[in-house]
């Protein structure tokens, strides 16, 4: 079984880019920049409302197409997410509900603190139960 990086490297378009040293270098720099921007955006979204961890994993996926260290980190992440998912599905329903409620309370708390620090946007209608 080939790794993601190896499968991309075997593609005809990628081999053509790799045949030119300057194009290959530019492509790798571009992948590094795009992947880093996506990872940073995901890390910013983690404490805020948004798909933070999913975005971080997507950025690692982009980086893993060219960089071995990112591929190893992505595999590590996938392995631990699977372990967590397997553990959680083996728990009784009340434990899963409790974890879900704790997660919802955490997200709500982060949202309240964020709105308190940044202020409620003007586009939020007045009837929404948030302090202004």
Question: CA 48 to CA 44: how far, in whole Å?
Answer: 7
Phi and psi based region of residue 11 (left: phi greater than 0; alpha: psi -120 to 50; beta: remaining): beta
Q: How far apart are CA 63 and CA 72, in angstroms?
A: 11
pLDDT given for residue 36 in this prediction: 96
Closest CA relative to residue 49, chosen from 103, 88, 127, 95: 103
CB 74 within 8 A of CB 60: yes
Output the pLDDT for position 9: 85
Q: Which residue has the higher pLDDT, 125 or 8?
A: 8
The predicted model gives 11-28 an average pLDDT of 89
What are the tens digits of pLDDT across the range 58-99? 999 999 999 999 999 999 999 999 999 999 999 999 999 999
Mean pLDDT, rounded, for 105-116 = 81
Look at residue 34 and give its three-state secondary structure.
helix
Cα–Cα distance between 100 and 88 in angstroms, integer?
A: 11
Q: Which of 39, 98, 99 is nearest to 63 (CA)?
A: 39
């Amino acid at each position: 079984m080939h790794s993601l990086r190896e499968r991309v490297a075997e593609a005809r378009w990628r081999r053509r880019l790799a045949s030119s040293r300057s194009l290959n270098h530019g492509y790798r720099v571009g992948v590094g920049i795009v992947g880093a921007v996506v990872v940073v955006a995901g890390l910013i979204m983690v404490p805020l409302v948004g798909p933070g961890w999913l975005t971080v994993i997507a950025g690692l996926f982009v980086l893993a197409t060219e960089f071995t260290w990112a591929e190893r980190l992505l595999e590590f992440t996938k392995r631990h997410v699977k372990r967590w998912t397997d553990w959680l599905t083996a728990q009784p329903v009340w434990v899963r509900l409790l974890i879900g409620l704790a997660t919802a309370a955490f997200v709500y708390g982060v949202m309240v603190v964020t709105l308190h620090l940044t202020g409620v946007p003007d586009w939020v209608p007045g009837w929404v139960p948030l302090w202004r």
